[in-house]
Amino acid sequence: MAEVVLAVTGGIAAYKAIDVMRILQRRGHGVSVLLSRSAERFVTRGTFSALSGRPVGTTLFPDDGQLDYDHLDFARRADIVLVCPATAHAMAEMAHGLAGGVIGTTLLAFDGPVVVAPAMNPRMLAHPATVANLATLEARGVRIVPVSEGLLADGDVGPGRLADPVDICDAVDAALAPGELAGVRVLVSAGGTQEPVDAVRFLGNRSSGKMGWALASEARRRGAVVTVLASNVALPREAGIAYVDAPTAADLHRETVARMPGTDVLVMAAAVADYRPAAAVQGKIDKSASDAMRLELEKTPDILTEVTAARRPGQVLVGFAAEHGEDGLQRAREKRARKGVDVLVHNDVSVPGIGFGSDDNAVTIIGPGDAETTVGPTSKAACAAAIVDVFAGLVTHT
């Protein structure tokens, strides 16, 4: 059974946190409660300390009252943090990493699973700021318990009601359950390499890293120990995932090869330059020097072929092929055979609205064996789930 830190923020649904606490306790969990200043306007510290039999965290500073805890006690103790109800304000604080109170401080000092159960007026929920904050939290691996619809305390009707307490507790238990990839070491490359032409210019590609990010997030959600080799990715990074920057093909090659002995599954989602300038010019190339310019390019090392040749038994290798046009799928099938990877994910980058840079994708997962699975067009998160389904089935648990 787990230690749950229940962070209650200042919404009208704060009283429902009492039910949530009771259900968690009945399921055998230890529950410690944090109250925001606004939450204390709706529910009292006395109720929660009596029902939990533990100190209730309300402030960081001893001169605000008698403190029977240290400001990091709750983060140290927690196996999981549940924010319930989560106000729009609390989610904005979380999205921006603000640590102005005991809840924000606990969340920043905690790197385990976090579940958020929002509750608010439908217009507050639909505001672009709230929508963006929710997306940021989700991208970081925070589990959001969807709100329900109906008549709200303020008289408005629509989505925004706190989810059913039983569903919230189920989400906590699901987040605590060891995933199917528990302990599996997954290495994901993401983004696009940039090959220096001179001190300020580079040859690059349009990969944003979103697909690799979604794969890393999904693998982590299922319990994997995930390392991401990030090639020039400007996306928020998720707690609980290790990130290593690998801006060039040479960096990616070095980091991948060095990490292969400690990797169970390699997912090469990064778009790696096939060619790079043979020699990067020191300083900045001066355009007055000549009207035309020739760049001499050399081939970069083929990382996938190299690691496939050196693979140890049981290692699972997943490659990507961003192909353009009609024959792309056939080329991807051939690429899989040539590279000797278990699974190759084909995406057609000629289709507008999917692939590079966008939030959506459509992929054909080729392998294992003769299997082919087509997914989408759908979100990159859904594509990632389908890809992880396939490689999770290939992992041999020792």
Ligand X SMILES: Cc1cc2nc3c(=O)[nH]c(=O)nc-3n(C[C@H](O)[C@H](O)[C@H](O)COP(=O)(O)O)c2cc1C
- Catalytic amino acids? 205
Residue 99 or 176: which CB sits closer to ligand X? Answer: 99
Print burial letters for 122-133: b (CB count within 10 Å at least 16), e (below 16).
bebbeeeebeeb
The number of residues that bind ligand X (CB under 6 A) is 15
Which residues in 70-99 contact ligand X (CB under 6 A)?
A: 87-90
119 sits near ligand X (criterion: CB under 6 A): yes
Beta carbon nearer to ligand X, 89 or 335: 89
Beta-carbon contacts of residue 84 (< 8 Å; ≥ 6 apart): 6, 7, 8, 16, 17, 20, 115, 116, 117, 145, 162, 168
Asked if 249 is part of the footprint of ligand X (rule: CB under 6 A), the reply reads: no
Is residue 205 within 8 Å of 227, Cβ to Cβ?
no
Q: Is the dihedral of CA 210, 215, 218, 219 positive or negative?
A: negative
> How far is the C-alpha of 115 from the C-alpha of 175, rounded, in Å?
8
The single residue among 51, 98, 124, 394 that binds ligand X, judged by CB under 6 A, is 124
Contact map string, positions 38 to 67, toward ligand X, x by CB under 6 A: xx----------------------------
Q: Is the CB of residue 343 less than 8 Å from the CB of residue 388? A: no
Residues 358-387, one symbol each (x = binds ligand X by CB under 6 A, - = not), give ------------------------------
Q: Pick the binder of ligand X from 10, 191, 247, 328 (CB under 6 A).
A: 10
* Site for ligand X contains 117 (CB under 6 A): no
Q: In the set 4, 17, 29, 36, which binds ligand X (CB under 6 A)?
A: 36
The owner of tokens 């006395």 is 46
Query: Which helix (H) or strand (E) covers residue 364, if one does?
Result: strand 360-366
Cβ-based nearer residue to ligand X, 12 or 295:
12
Which positions touch ligand X (CB under 6 A)? 9-13, 36, 38-39, 87-90, 119-120, 124
